[in-house]
């Protein structure tokens, strides 16, 4: 007799396929969009008979203001027991910029060694792009951003702080291991994606003659292992021009952490903006715990109004399923991710716009539409 989908409770994982997912709704409208993400995740799991357990974690600006804690001891260890994390948004109007970003988001990326930041840039049908004359066939590429090094390493300091002679340093760190594992993953991804099979390294070798020389040499070496993938190179400034003029040129981009941060905001607006763009912070090693998030902020002024677009959070769920499936080597999970993506593609043409308050539907209704498309 076929077993029906069963809710697992951590002590009784019934199959390697079952999922334990940690949900960090976070601040502002974060919990509203993760609610819709979880709604779609539940429906997708039910359809494929994947057992699912979710647990909400109370982290973010409110907790910080209430208790002074950002990422309390033990939470990271607890999160290690989950297959993946779904994050809503962090950012609170009463908390100074940088505190939650570094204390929560970057700390989790580093602690869980999520060394890949995966940013699919796909213009869904019916979604408006600011680029005249470009459609879904033109805007469909992926950025693979290194996620643990570079200027984000937090190396630096002040000398004579607060005096007229003040000196500040902020050092970019690049390691052979760090760039090689990211570049190799990007080659694998390009091969598997199987579209134009072109991997473009985006860097600044003409100026960053040490750190980006390391990236360049490593890229050339790893490329030899992937004769079926065309290795390609753009300086980051030129990439910004091409991305606007000829986005259809790109298949997969691999880049450093800081440049990746910048070009993925440019790319995000080309695909319709914060309501749709999603990202994955991935540790692809066996058993690695990855974290998926909509790119939009916490948008505090819209909190509780049921107007924010949850599609980015739903896109994050599609990625969560596919990438967790890849990590576990489980085709059913990958298929569930594909189905969620198909349901998104069937839903966006029905919406008026992707902008908060102007979608023609409320936050919860968009979630329902995707579930019915599933």
Q: Show which residues are catalytic.
A: 152, 204, 237, 261, 265
C-alpha 291 chain-centroid distance: 7
| Nearer residue to Mn ion within complex by CB, 261 or 368 | 261
113 binds Mn ion (CB under 5 A): no
Q: Tell me the residue length of the chain.
A: 374
Q: What is the 3-state secondary structure (H, E, C) of 12-35?
A: CCCCCCCEEEEEEEECCCHHHHHH
Q: How far is the CB of 90 from ligand IPM (least distance, A)?
A: 8
Q: How far is the CB of 275 from Mn ion (least distance, A)?
A: 16
| Nearer residue to Mn ion within complex by CB, 127 or 143 | 143
105 binds, among Mn ion, ligand IPM, none (CB under 5 to 8 A by kind): ligand IPM
CA separation, residue 281 to residues 73, 193, 267, 304 (Å):
21, 18, 17, 27
| Nearer residue to ligand IPM within complex by CB, 147 or 348 | 147
Contact 103, 111 (CB under 8 A): no
Binding segment for Mn ion (CB under 5 A), chosen from 140-148, 162-170, 178-186, 253-261, is 253-261
Q: How far is the CB of 361 from ligand IPM (least distance, A)?
A: 27
| Nearer residue to Mn ion within complex by CB, 62 or 261 | 261
101 binds, among Mn ion, ligand IPM, none (CB under 5 to 8 A by kind): ligand IPM
Pairing relation of β-strands 290-294 and 278-282? antiparallel
Strand intervals (E) in 252-343: 252-255, 278-282, 290-294
Binding segment for Mn ion (CB under 5 A), chosen from 103-111, 190-198, 239-247, 261-269, is 261-269
The dihedral sign for the CA sequence 268, 180, 193, 313: negative
Among 9, 69, 78, 101, binds ligand IPM (CB under 6 A): 101
What residues are paired with 46 via a beta bridge? none
Q: How far is the CB of 77 from Mn ion (least distance, A)?
A: 27
Residues numbered 151-190 forming contacts with ligand IPM, rule: CB under 6 A = none
Site string for ligand IPM, 302-341 (x = CB under 6 A): ----------------------------------------
Report which residue's Cβ sits closest to ligand IPM: 101
Q: How many angstroms separate the CA atoms of 284 and 56, rounded?
A: 23
Q: How many angstroms separate the CA atoms of 334 and 351, rounded?
A: 26
78 binds, among Mn ion, ligand IPM, none (CB under 5 to 8 A by kind): none
> Exposure of 59 by Cβ count < 10 A (0-12 exposed, 13-18 middle, 19+ buried)?
buried
Contact 224, 255 (CB under 8 A): no
**333-363: string of b/e by CB count within 10 Å (b at 16+)?**
bbbbbebbbebbebbbeebebbbbeebebbb
Count residues contacting ligand IPM (CB under 6 A)? 4
The residues, any chain, with a CB within 8 Å of residue 183's CB and separated by 6 or more, are 201, 215, 218, 219, 222, 254
Contact 91, 104 (CB under 8 A): no
62 binds, among Mn ion, ligand IPM, none (CB under 5 to 8 A by kind): none
Among 41, 75, 105, 179, binds ligand IPM (CB under 6 A): 105
Residues numbered 230-289 forming contacts with ligand IPM, rule: CB under 6 A = 261
| Nearer residue to ligand IPM within complex by CB, 44 or 267 | 267
333 binds, among ligand IPM, Mn ion, none (CB under 5 to 8 A by kind): none
Residues numbered 154-183 forming contacts with Mn ion, rule: CB under 5 A = none
Q: How far is the CB of 157 from ligand IPM (least distance, A)?
A: 20
Q: How many angstroms separate the CA atoms of 153 and 275, rounded?
A: 29
Q: How far is the CB of 244 from Mn ion (least distance, A)?
A: 18
261 binds Mn ion (CB under 5 A): yes
| Nearer residue to ligand IPM within complex by CB, 244 or 266 | 266
Residue 265, helix vs strand vs coil:
helix
The residues, any chain, with a CB within 8 Å of residue 53's CB and separated by 6 or more, are 7, 8, 9, 10, 18, 19, 20, 21
Residues that bind Mn ion (CB under 5 A): 261
Residues that bind ligand IPM (CB under 6 A): 101, 105-106, 261
């Amino acid at each position: 007799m076929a077993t029906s989908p069963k809710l697992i409770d951590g002590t009784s994982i019934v199959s390697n396929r079952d999922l334990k997912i940690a949900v960090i709704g976070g601040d502002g409208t974060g919990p509203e969009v993760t609610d819709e993400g979880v709604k779609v995740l539940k429906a997708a799991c039910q359809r494929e008979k994947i057992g699912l357990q979710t647990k909400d974690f109370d982290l973010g600006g409110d907790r910080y203001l209430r208790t002074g804690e950002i990422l309390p001891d033990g939470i990271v260890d607890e999160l290690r027991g989950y297959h993946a994390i779904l994050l809503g948004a962090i950012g609170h109007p009463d908390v100074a910029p940088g505190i939650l970003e570094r204390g929560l988001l970057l700390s989790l990326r580093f602690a869980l060694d999520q060394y890949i930041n995966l940013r699919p840039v796909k213009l869904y049908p019916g979604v408006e792009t600011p680029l005249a004359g470009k459609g879904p066939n033109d805007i469909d590429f992926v950025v693979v951003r290194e996620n643990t090094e570079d200027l984000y390493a937090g190396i630096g300091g002040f000398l004579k702080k607060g005096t007229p002679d003040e000196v500040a340093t902020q050092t970019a760190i690049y390691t052979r291991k760090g760039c090689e594992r990211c570049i190799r993953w990007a080659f694998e991804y390009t091969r598997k994606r199987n579209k134009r099979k072109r991997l473009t390294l985006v860097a600044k070798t003409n100026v960053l003659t040490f750190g980006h020389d390391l990236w360049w040499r490593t890229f050339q070496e790893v490329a030899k292992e992937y004769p079926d993938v065309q290795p390609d190179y753009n300086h980051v400034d030129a990439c910004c021009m091409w991305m606007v003029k000829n986005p259809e040129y790109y298949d997969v981009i691999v880049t450093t952490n800081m440049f990746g941060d910048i070009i993925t905001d440019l790319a995000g607006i080309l695909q319709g903006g914060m309501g749709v763009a999603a990202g994955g912070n991935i540790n692809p090693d066996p058993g690695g715990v990855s974290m998926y998030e909509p790119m939009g902020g916490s948008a505090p002024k819209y909190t509780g109004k049921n107007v924010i677009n949850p599609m980015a959070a739903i896109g994050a769920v599609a990625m969560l399923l596919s990438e967790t499936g890849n990590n576990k080597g489980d085709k059913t999970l990958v298929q569930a991710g594909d189905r969620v993506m198909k349901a998104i593609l069937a839903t966006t043409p029905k919406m008026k716009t992707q902008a908060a308050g102007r979608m023609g539907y409320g936050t919860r209704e968009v979630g329902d539409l995707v579930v019915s498309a599933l």
